[in-house]
Structure 1
Amino acid sequence: MYTSVIIIDDDAIVRESVRMFLEAQSDIEVIQCFGRAEDYLAELAKNQFQPNHILLLDIGLPGLGGLEAIPEIKQIADPDIIMLSTYEEEDKILKALSLGATSYISKRAGLKAILEGIQIVQKGGAYLSPAVAREVVGFFAQSKRKKEEFELPARQYEVLSALSEGRTYQEIANEMSISVETVRSHIKKMYRNMQVKNKVEAINLYMNGSVK
Structure 2
Amino acid sequence: MIRVVVADDQDLVRGGFAMILDAQPDIDVVAEAADGAEAVAAARTHAPDVILLDIRMPGMDGIEATRRICADTTTRVLILTTFDADDLVYEALSAGATGFLLKDVRRDALAEAVRTVAAGDSLLAPTVTRRLITDHISRPSSRPAADALAQLTTRERETLGHIARGLSNAEIAGAMTLSEHTVKTHVSNILTKLGLRDRVQAVMAAYESGLVVANR
Q: TM-score range by the shorter chain?
A: 0.5 to 0.7
Amino acid at match of 2:96: G
Structure 2 length normalisation: TM-score? 0.58
Distance 1:93 1:138 in 2: 13
Q: 1:49 aligns with which of 39, 46, 49?
A: 46
Name the structure 2 match of 1:123.
119
What 5-or-longer segments of structure 2 have no aligned partner? 140-214
Contact preservation (8 Å) 2:39, 2:65: no
Deviates more, 1:117-126 or 1:24-33: 117-126
| Residue 111 (structure 1) shift | 2.7
TM-score by structure 1 length? 0.59
Identify if the C-alpha distance between structure 1 residues 16 and 71 changes in structure 2 by more than 3 Å, giving closer, same or farther. Answer: same
Aligned-residue CA RMSD (Å): 2.7
The corresponding residue for 1:114 is: 110
The answer to whether the 8 Å contact 1:81/1:102 transfers is yes
* Distance change >3 Å, CA 25–CA 42, structure 1 → 2: closer
CA distance in 1: counterparts of 2:131 and 2:105, whole angstroms = 14
Superposed displacement of residue 36, structure 1: 1.5
**Residues matched between the structures, number:** 143
Q: Cα 1:42–1:116, aligned 2, differ >3 Å: closer, same or farther?
A: closer
Of the three residues 54, 59, 62, the one matched with 2:55 is 59
* Aligned partner letter, 2:64: E
Distance 1:43 1:123, change over 3 A: closer
Query: How far 1:59 moved relative to its partner?
Result: 0.9
Per-residue Cα deviation, 1:30-75 (whole angstroms, up to 9, x for no partner): 0011111212333445xx213x520101011011110121222233
SS at match of 1:108: coil
Q: Which residue of 1 aligns with 2:183?
A: none
Indicate how the Cα distance of structure 1 residues 75 and 136 shifts in structure 2: closer, same or farther if over 3 A, else same: closer
Superposed structure 1 runs of 4+ greater than 6 Å apart: 140-143
Structure 1, unmatched stretches of 5+, are 144-195, 198-212
